[in-house]
Structure 1
């Protein structure tokens, strides 16, 4: 594998976005891709991942960023490092990649799923979990060499978080919250009290945590036995992070960046000069990082205030944002005449035969190839818009024949020869 790290020339511009004593700094990136997730392990070293296999890394606290080469060109939705050397990223089509040298080289890891993975969380170099489409939940205890399926729901999971090797939570669409106390061997549904899409979850210990999503911030102080609405609105939030029980941030669409210093009793919107959808938060040392679109934001000198009393409030109307899910997936129903054709999507076998419904597809251009014995094959390009459900029908040749005609006594340039003509197709 080519181990060269390709430097990305970036003109960095630090912009002060808040008043005295605050100081969000913006690191705009001269890239075509979108940034979906971020992970820092200390003050200086961090990684971002995004669309088309994008991986960016910094070793100088964000002053400069360089590209790292991914072994895939698929979208990467989440990234997790447990030290400066060892990390994982997950994404489209069941993609899991791993590095053991800080990203100088990344290798693809086999996974028993082709569904997109939206979340990855490791607590050490051996034990971790990934989750994604249609309730996919996988666990590894050998650093990703092998994976065991642990899911017991059919609802897409968007985020997960563990406080130790036994206690964790996962959230997803339709207000889904799952909880485990045995390291992910079994998962139990917790009552969220909402039907909203939930996109982010974070706990400061085994009792207190927050979950955010479509128009809601949820809070629990008893490990999720009881979740209560701490704030609500018409916006959608994608990620939440608390370094301690008092101080926290929630980020979302349209550059929404909310901050609390009293455990969520009140929230105020930070002034940031970006309109990108903000999707993820990470802390390294005393710096907090937020990413989304083509923007990377950082706040230095993060304090760790004392824990205040908690009460419920509604979020101020000024921070309400329109709804827009983090990933608008698509579906495609494929029919054929005759039926029973093998479906190959984007050069990868699906294991399905027509008629069949292909779910959890990313928007964009796809190539559907149908193959059936004695009927040859047919390819068709299909474009799916975000959130679209489409149905197509493909007609295969009625039957495929190959006819050989032997012609003797053929003379070419004065030389006697025999020729065999092969014809194939529908007749």
Structure 2
């Protein structure tokens, strides 16, 4: 996960070498205006997704990249892999950023060579996925979406089944964008209190029971804010 978080900041422009603070350009990185997410299993194998419905992979730490999947009506916002074969990619959903794809989650069992949509959720189906996080070998969590509605989803069996929860009982949560879990039980999610950005405040919530319940930790005091990303450098 360390490589995933560091390289996410680089936006595929540079690579963190063994020497702290020393960055070099990746001359063969795919060129788009923005990549939304990236995950590396180790220092070599990684994937990156963007809003043009593209999924790229690298086997050599970013020296070379292969376009594995492309679907123009999809806006991929997140990606997560359990291992070298089994991974998931989240689509922000119909109506956001020009996306017309109604399938909000895609899975692969062959390292990204092929991707198929998944829509068999237990509970209310989310309208889109913004954030994905692999927690351990079998647990992955997801949140969505920007501008709502707000959902939290998770699998505890490596993607065989997914359960989803809406936030209808939390009137202050209009949408969710990112998450950070320390273990399958304890984690944070961040988002917004109003889909109108000018009327919104950022919000951070915490769970200690795997997402069954949430406690608001802070709602920012200023208007015109969304909480966009959350990360902890250590536990």
Q: TM-score range by the shorter chain?
A: 0.7 to 0.9
Query: Higher strand fraction: Structure 1 or Structure 2?
Result: 1
Report how many aligned residue pairs link the two structures.
202
CA contact (8 A) 1:48 1:57 kept: no
Describe the superposition over 1:48-89 as per-residue Cα deviations: whole angstroms up to 9, x where unpaired: 454xxx532121333233133234535211111111111110
CA distance in 2, matches of 1:46, 1:56: 8
**1:205 corresponds to:** 183
Question: In the alignment, is the contact (CA less than 8 A) between 2:140 and 2:158 conserved in 1?
Answer: yes
1:167 aligns with 2:139: yes
Q: Is the 8 A contact 1:167 1:180 kept in 2?
A: yes
- Please, which moves more after superposition, 172-181 or 209-218? 172-181
Would you say 1:109 and 2:68 are equivalent positions?
Answer: yes
Stretches of structure 1 lacking an aligned partner (at least 5 in a row): 1-38, 243-287, 289-301, 305-427
Change in 2 beyond 3 A, CA 1:168/1:161: same
Which one of the candidate residues 162, 166, 185 is aligned to 1:187? 162
In structure 2, what is the Cα distance between the partners aligned to 1:224 and 1:40? 24
Scaled by the length of structure 2, the TM-score of the pair is 0.75
Q: Helix, strand or coil: the match of 1:41? A: helix
Partner of 1:139: 107
Give me the whole-angstrom Cα distance separating, in 2, the residues matched to 1:239 and 1:48: 11
Q: Deviation string for 1:285-307 (max 9, x for gaps)?
A: xxx4xxxxxxxxxxxxx6x6xxx
Structure 2 stretches lacking a partner, 5+ long: 94-102, 193-201
**Structure whose CA Rg is larger:** 1
- Summarize the Cα distance change of 1:165–1:139 in structure 2 as closer, same or farther, 3 Å threshold: farther
Q: Post-superposition shift, 1:137?
A: 0.7
Question: How far apart are 1:182 and its partner, in Å?
Answer: 2.7
In structure 2, the residue corresponding to 1:160 is in which secondary structure?
A: strand
| Residue pair 2:126, 2:144 contacting (<8 A) in 1 also | no
Deviations 1:111-165 (A, max 9, x none): 5673110101123222221102215211122211122211353612110112123
Alpha carbons of structure 1 residues 131 and 155: separation in structure 2 relative to 1, 3 Å = same
TM-superposed CA distance for 1:181, in Å, is 2.3
- Cα distance in 2, alignment partners of residues 113 and 151 from structure 1: 19
Instruction: Check 1:61–1:140 CA distance in 2 against 1; reply closer, same or farther (3 A cut).
Output: farther
**TM norm structure 1:** 0.43
Task: Give the Cα–Cα distance (whole angstroms) in 2 for the partners of residues 118 and 154 of structure 1.
Answer: 14
Q: Give the superposed CA RMSD.
A: 2.5
Asked whether the equivalents of residues 133 and 140 of structure 2 are also in contact (C-alpha less than 8 Å), the reply is: yes
Aligned partner (choices 77, 84, 94) of residue 53 of structure 2 = 94
- Partner Cα separation in structure 1 for residue 143 and residue 206 of structure 2: 13
The 1:150–1:225 alpha-carbon spacing in structure 2 relative to 1, beyond 3 Å, is same
